[in-house]
Amino acid sequence: MLDPDVRRRTITPAETERIVPFEILLDRIAEERTAAWVQTRRHLHRHPELSGQEFQTTQFIAERLRSLGIEPVILDRQVGCTADLTLGKPGSGAPLIAIRADIDALPLQDRKTVEYSSECAGVTHACGHDVHTTIALAVAETMVRLAEKLTETDTPSVNLRFIFQPAEEIAEGAAWMVEAGALQGVQHILGLHVDPMAQIGRIGIRYGVLTAHVDEVSFVVRGKGGHAARPQHTTDPLLTAATLITTLYQQVPRQTDALHPTVFTIGSIHGGMASNVIPDEIRLEGTLRTTDKAVRIKAINAIGNICRGLGEATGNQIEVEFRCPLGAVFNSTTATSACEHSAIQVVGNANVTLIEKPSMGGEDFAVYLEHVPGSQFRLGCAAAPGEWPLLHSPFFDVDERAIEIGARVLTRAALLLGLM
């Protein structure tokens, strides 16, 4: 079901005709370069780097771009870079289309038994960012090769910007890129994410909300502790913390609109040092995930009210803090239409799925969409039907045929938007 304020837009025949002359050549380039792109992905997979520490990854990307004749601009932090590419002779009003790839890995031990397993202990690309980076580099190479094979007159006139973003896993990198001016002059931004729940050759498109708003929530329950044999002399902060969890789980969904998903989860509990001592303080960490702005505010208010009420009822002080808010990815109609049309051209209409419901996961691609319209699509990467290791699994891997498919779709979408 589409969001009520978002409608699908059909790409017109006139818009399609602008890239039809290049499609056969684009596919030929992809076919010729796929083996090299797979090796690029495997290099990145062997050498993962954590969020904010992607120094070697950034240098690797920069070297690849320079080999294509594209000069990168590396952030002052020395992680992440942008690179502009102009094909043909775009007019003064021609749009600038950005393509974003995230480049960081996760603090997780790679447990796959493949020749390209991570060589960095405790760090692995378990979320597909190595694939995203490879695809963005593949799009850049495809565009350059396209211009080389065409006359200046025949070359499509488009302005492109490639954004290689660090620190997506800690939801900080997109803000770094925006602060560095990565979106200056950009009219549309495109991205993709591998999807292990979809088989290779399938692509998921969604208009409107794609991912959830995410808020980290921190609680501190403070009161009077004491001997475990004499709870009557305490305010028992531990019991209050346990009650708080069950109350939040029960009441937050009951106080928000059931038509809009709301997920609240506690993932960390810390307190106490001995079995016979009731502690003075308990700390909890959790996340709140919502898909509607109004529901998010209502859920935040509900959590605050529950903390105040329970604190008063038990004689404890309950502090709550909402940190690191991350907005929802909201796919625009025009950019999503370009992605959908391009996906149909590459994998066929039967293999393009309109995603019915948003994910409750978070994605800092949303930060870019607070400034410019754009779209992110899902790229199937499971090699076989049935169970496949999911994102953030130590066994996560992809069917590498997804690289060529993703590059072909993203290249077409960027051209469509750039030539509109």
Q: Which residues contact 129 (CB under 8 A, 6 or more apart)?
A: 101, 102, 103, 104, 105, 168
Separation CA 99–CA 135 (nearest Å): 10
pLDDT in tens, 164-205: 999 999 999 999 999 999 999 999 999 999 999 999 999 999
Of 237, 241, 239, 224, nearest to 285 (Cα)? 241
- What count of other Cβ atoms lies within 10 Å of the Cβ of residue 50? 17
CA triple 389-138-128, angle to 5 deg: 20
In this structure, the chain runs to a length of 420
Instruction: Give the distance from CA 81 to its chain's centroid.
Output: 17
The arrangement of secondary structure in 13-209+330-419, i.e. its CATH architecture, is 3-Layer(aba) Sandwich (3.40)
Segment holding 44, helix H or strand E: helix 20-46
Cα–Cα–Cα angle for 147, 80, 178, rounded to 5 degrees:
95
Residues in the chain where the model's pLDDT stays below 70: 1-7
pLDDT at 4: 44
Pairing status of strand 213-222 against strand 81-87: unpaired
Q: Tokens for 337?
A: 């239409």
The segment(s) of the chain belonging to CATH 3.40.630.10 are: 13-209+330-419
Structural tokens at position 108? 């997780």
d(CA 99, CA 84): 10
**pLDDT score of 326:** 95
Quote the pLDDT of residue 3: 52
Architecture of domain 213-326: 2-Layer Sandwich (3.30)
Which runs of consecutive H residues, i.e. helices, occur in 180-262? 237-254
The rounded distance, in Å, linking the Cα atoms of 263 and 369 is: 23
8 Å CB contact between 232 and 260: no
Cα distances from 282 to residues 147, 245, 308, 319, 337, in angstroms, run 62, 12, 16, 11, 49
What type of residue is 284? L
Cβ(194)–Cβ(381) below 8 Å: yes
- Where does CATH 3.30.70.360 sit in the chain? 213-326
Q: How many CA atoms lie within 13 A of 346 on its CB side?
A: 30
Pairing of strands 186-199, 374-382: parallel
